[in-house]
Structure 1
Amino acid sequence: MDSATGLWTKTSCDYEQAFLCKRPIPWSTAKPPTEVVLAQNPSDFSNCNTTLLMTPGTITSYGYLSTSPPEPAVYCTWRIVTTGPYRVRLSFTDVSTYNDVYVYNEDGTTFARVRYSTYIISPSNIVTVDFQATGRAGYKGFRAVALAY
């Protein structure tokens, strides 16, 4: 890179040049992480605590359509990402929850609280959806469809 202009320039591979690293490369290697196995409910299709890349896709609250509350209370978060210039359109097709569903834009600012069936369009291509099922009976949860918009 040319230090005067800040632009990349062509140079011969035979010419030795010094460069600066943002962080030095360590000489030792890190220990491999220990594997943690979490108990999962095989009948749950909520995609709870996941990232949904390349919409379209569907998310549901944990235990969706069951009117018996999860024990203990369940906190779920979903990160939804579309490609490039597209924004995220979330269509909440079914909402029957005691608590609100919160939707945050990519910098963590709340831009929607969902209480009933509706749709929202995000200001960017990344959104985070948070929901906490508090254990109240009679609410079946929510379902939302994510699309690139």
Structure 2
Amino acid sequence: MTGLTDKDMAVIFKKDAGDYMIAAENLRTDENSILLVAPTNFMRSHAIELLLKAALLANGWTAEQCRKKLGHKLIEAMNEGEAVGLVLTDQTKSVIRTLSPLHEDYTFRYRPDKPYAFPNQTVATEAVAELFDRVQTIVKANCLTP
């Protein structure tokens, strides 16, 4: 054991998600961004996973529960997050629903032989930003001492 609590991990996951968001945005604004769709969406999807798990960790879940029960399933993590009070707009939920199966089956890591759809980049960026803001509030309230 590293000595880190699950609430510590919530803070770390939120911080790491922010870093992935910055990296995704840097790729999105690159002049070759059309060629970087898979890496950009991989980073977004991973940021979403970390944020949803941070919200759960901040609300009493353990890292082990997140790993065993959720894995990379963004829809399930979102549903569990909503059960502990995470409130998201329909647009953000739609982005998560679109990215979830692609994240779960590693579409963005290993190019599939099947066609797939991904969310509009601007809409996806807005969705991840909204999720970050909502989780930031939860983590701050539940994990950080004044």
Q: Which has the higher helix share?
A: 2
- TM-score between both structures, scaled by the size of structure 2: 0.28
- TM-score between both structures, scaled by the size of structure 1: 0.27
Q: Which has the higher strand share?
A: 1
Higher Cα radius of gyration: 1
Larger RCO of the pair (alpha carbons < 8 Å, separation 6+): 2
